[in-house]
């Protein structure tokens, strides 16, 4: 175990050339079998994750049935996973095998910067999906106003810009720095010349803060769903006569679908019928007195009212979608949360070969697990996959003929 301990001077060193980085030996006391297995896992994640994420992006983008705000956020999550699998995983697999950082000084900083940025984009996207579900359940009238095409573009741009801006100071060495950490084996965020490191601040802003918001949103969703179900169980199941009549050609902000609703009051005295009211329309003449009679008996009882929002229980489709999103949250927590907790509680885990390798592989597992969740839990997403594969097969058959 002593062979794994690096001198303290190595922790504060700043490598200024690619030759200096390549001369540092990594994973000194790690067994060859462990490193080969770790490299093979990275390759497996690439083989499964990159095609799986690309397939999901194409399938969701071309299928109109699932094209909504949630699908757009999920596509953004998979774009992030494709970049991670194409850039981070190959460099990681090679480093495990070579036990040296041979990719150059510039790539060392790019590797660490992209790794932190892509992880932040992932958690911000998961947070956006959670807020999207929260608004649908708790504030449905806000949904069409918030999730417009222009607003969606702004949200996605904000996610990427915020995640990228968070780590720019460290990239340029203004607050912390990105450099090789011999004990961990990879390039990561380290203290700068003044001993300052923004790692705890970034973990709070980019990870712990979003986790708290996600927990609060899902607690609120659960409370609203349970309250709605309780109300529906206590309601009278007998149908009642509708009292709202729609005007199709008018608009009002009191309606969510662009229609003004008119309420008819059956208890109004003007609704009582008399013998004079039974006169056939054909025998009546259009006179001013007739118009006054119409105003008296028909115009007065109608009035514009605000649409009544009745509680609506989640449908079977809603429950399946909630279950799928909950599975995404759970998989993200299982793959990222242990590493973040370990960094705070057990800071010497990088000196333990199996703990260090397991922490890295567990965080990389998330790049290929989401497409599997969609196939197992969503009928609509399976339909999108099936439609894509059928089109590919049909085009291939036409080419053969």
The ranges assigned to domains in the chain are 2-231+316-400, 244-275+290-304
Average pLDDT over residues 54-75: 88
What CA–CA distance (Å, rounded) separates 9 from 23? 15
Closest CA relative to residue 171, chosen from 195, 159, 188: 188
pLDDT on residue 221: 83
Query: How many other CB atoms are found less than 10 A from the CB of residue 50?
Result: 19
What CA–CA distance (Å, rounded) separates 377 from 323? 8
pLDDT digit string, tens, across residues 176-187: 889 898 888 889
**CB-based contact 56:79 (threshold 8 Å):** no
Average pLDDT over residues 314-340: 69
| Residues forming beta bridges with residue 189, ordered by sequence position | 178
Superfamily of domain 2-231+316-400 in CATH is Rhodopsin 7-helix transmembrane proteins (1.20.1070.10)
More confident residue, 28 or 57: 57
pLDDT digit string, tens, across residues 214-233: 888 888 888 887 787 777 77
For 265-273, the CB contacts below 8 A with 24+ separation are 265/301, 265/303, 268/300, 268/301, 270/296, 270/297, 270/298, 270/300, 270/301, 271/301
pLDDT digit string, tens, across residues 261-283: 433 344 443 444 444 444 444 44
**Eight-state DSSP code of residue 253:** T
């Amino acid at each position: 175990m002593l062979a794994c301990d690096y001198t303290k001077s190595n922790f504060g060193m700043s490598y200024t050339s690619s030759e200096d980085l390549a001369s540092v030996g990594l994973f000194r006391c790690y067994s060859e079998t462990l490193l080969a297995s770790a490299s093979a896992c990275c390759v497996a994640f690439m083989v499964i994750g990159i095609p799986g994420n690309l397939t999901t992006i194409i399938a969701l983008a071309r299928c109109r049935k699932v094209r909504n705000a949630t699908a757009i956020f999920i596509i953004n999550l998979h774009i992030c996973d494709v970049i991670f699998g194409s850039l981070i995983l190959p460099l990681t697999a090679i480093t495990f095998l070579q036990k040296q950082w041979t990719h150059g000084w510039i790539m060392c900083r790019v590797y660490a910067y992209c790794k932190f940025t892509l992880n932040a984009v992932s958690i911000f996207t998961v947070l956006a999906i959670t807020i999207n579900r929260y608004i649908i359940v708790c504030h449905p009238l806000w949904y069409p106003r918030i999730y417009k095409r222009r607003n969606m573009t702004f949200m996605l741009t904000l996610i990427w810009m915020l995640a990228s801006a968070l780590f720019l100071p460290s990239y340029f060495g203004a607050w912390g720095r990105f450099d090789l950490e011999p004990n961990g084996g990879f390039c990561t965020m380290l203290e700068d010349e003044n001993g300052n490191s923004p790692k705890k601040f970034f973990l709070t802003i980019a990870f712990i803060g979003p986790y708290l918001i996600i927990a609060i949103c899902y607690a609120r969703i659960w409370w609203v769903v349970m309250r709605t179900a309780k109300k529906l169980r206590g309601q009278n199941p007998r149908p009642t006569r509708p009292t709202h009549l729609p005007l199709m050609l008018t608009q009002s902000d009191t309606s969510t679908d662009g229609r003004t609703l008119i309420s008819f009051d059956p208890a109004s005295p003007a609704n009582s019928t008399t013998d004079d009211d039974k006169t056939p329309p054909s025998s009546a003449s259009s006179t001013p007195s007739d118009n006054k009679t119409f105003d008296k008996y028909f115009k007065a009882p109608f009035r514009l009212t605000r649409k009544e929002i009745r509680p609506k229980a989640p449908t079977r489709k809603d429950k399946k979608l909630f279950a799928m999103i909950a599975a995404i949250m759970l998989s993200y927590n299982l793959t990222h949360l242990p590493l973040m907790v370990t960094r705070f509680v057990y800071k010497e885990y990088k000196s333990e070969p199996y703990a260090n390798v397991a922490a890295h592989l567990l965080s990389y597992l998330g790049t290929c697990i989401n497409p599997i969740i969609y196939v197992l839990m969503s009928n609509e997403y399976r339909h999108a996959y099936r439609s894509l594969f059928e089109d590919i097969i049909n085009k291939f058959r036409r080419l053969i003929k």
